[in-house]
Structure formats: C-alpha cells, structure tokens
Amino acid sequence: QVQLSESGGGLAQAGASLRLSCVASGRSFARGAMGWFRQAPGKEREFVAGIGWSGEYYADSVKGRFAISRDNSKNVAYLQMDSLTPEDTAVYYCAADYNSDVATSIKGYLYWGQGTQVTVSS
C-alpha cells in the first residue's frame, strides 16, 4: 500500500512561514519525483513546486518564497513556505511518482496525498 501523508498546514498571518511535510510509505521515491500542488475554492488544481533527478521547478507565483526539498533516506518531501500571502490559501497536495522526473502537470504523478489546508489571513 503506497500512501502519502501531508502535515504542517494551518492558519498563518500574511508574511509568516509554514513548512509542509509529506511522508511517503510503501515505496521509495528517491529515484522519482515529488511535487506539491494546491487547489483554492473555485479554481483548478495548480502546480506549486516539484523536485526530481533533473532539479527543482517552481510556479512563478511562488518563486523566491517557497522551497521544495527532500530527504530520500526518510522518503519525505518538504515545502518551506515563506512570505505567505492570502493568495496562497488553498488545500496543498503532495504528489509523487516513483520512476518519473519532475513534472508540472498532475498527470506526471501517480500517487497523491489527501491534502492539508493552508489558510493565510491578511
């Protein structure tokens, strides 16, 4: 059973920071890719950040503010979110694929977590 479990979401004030964690179990994703997506009410799920063997990739909206990292020994991915704004409010989903490089499309990831809510107040 492959599972991804996100944590670290919650309430934050504008300008504050949060760090999301994604723990993967059931399979190692060290040779694949892990990513973060988010979905706000009334909007499509959008790519936020991804990391794979070729490097890292970020959506323009979070460049310079968010940073993705991973600890392959623990099968964990992180999303450090700094300088949060109300526009960052969304449900954040962890995604992973065990044998693919980083992708910006939801189709590039086979496994998904259940999501963690991030709410940023002004």
pLDDT score, position 86? 98
pLDDT score, position 113? 98
pLDDT score, position 8? 98
pLDDT score, position 19? 98
Give every CB contact of residue 9 below 8 A, 6+ residues apart in sequence. 18, 20, 92, 116, 117, 118
pLDDT score, position 61? 97
As a residue count, the chain comes to 122
| Structure token digits, residue 7 | 């944590």
Query: What's the average pLDDT block by block, 10 residues per block, for the chain (122 residues)?
Result: 96 98 95 97 97 96 98 96 98 96 95 98 96
pLDDT score, position 85? 98
